[in-house]
Homo-oligomer: A and B are copies of this chain.
């Protein structure tokens, strides 16, 4: 069985990190599937999906890592061509990855207590985002 749903949300951009665990669990709860995988995929090339302990200090540490390794204040060729100033956002998104797959069993995701599912929006402006939530199993 396969069910495809969407999570729509509004982000602030600028490395905004949004906990989508409750929405994913809600979508899972709406299905009759008890064992399988949830596949998450964010449409667009300036955001990514991962897991993190959703604690404010750590979110800031994660943002700091991006600033050190894929800085906002160096030249990007993408910006010369397109003038949107979000070359760094694209590079970060490609490195982090647009998809995440999480197994579940008896309707429970394999997440730890301190492990939340997050969208990281790297764009340089607020964005409306669509995340595909596909639930497959039996």
Contacts and interface: CB of A to CB of B under 8 A. Distances in A.
A111 B57 contact: no
Interface of A: 1-2, 4, 35-37, 39, 41, 43-45, 50-53, 55-58, 60-62, 65, 68-70, 76-82, 87-88, 90-91, 93-103, 105, 110-112, 114-115, 132, 134, 136-138
The 7 closest A-B pairs by CB, nearest first: A57-B77, A103-B134, A110-B132, A58-B78, A57-B78, A45-B53, A4-B105
B138 A1 contact: yes
A28 to B, nearest CB: 14
Contact of A100 (B45, B55, B97, B112): B97
A100 to B, nearest CB: 6
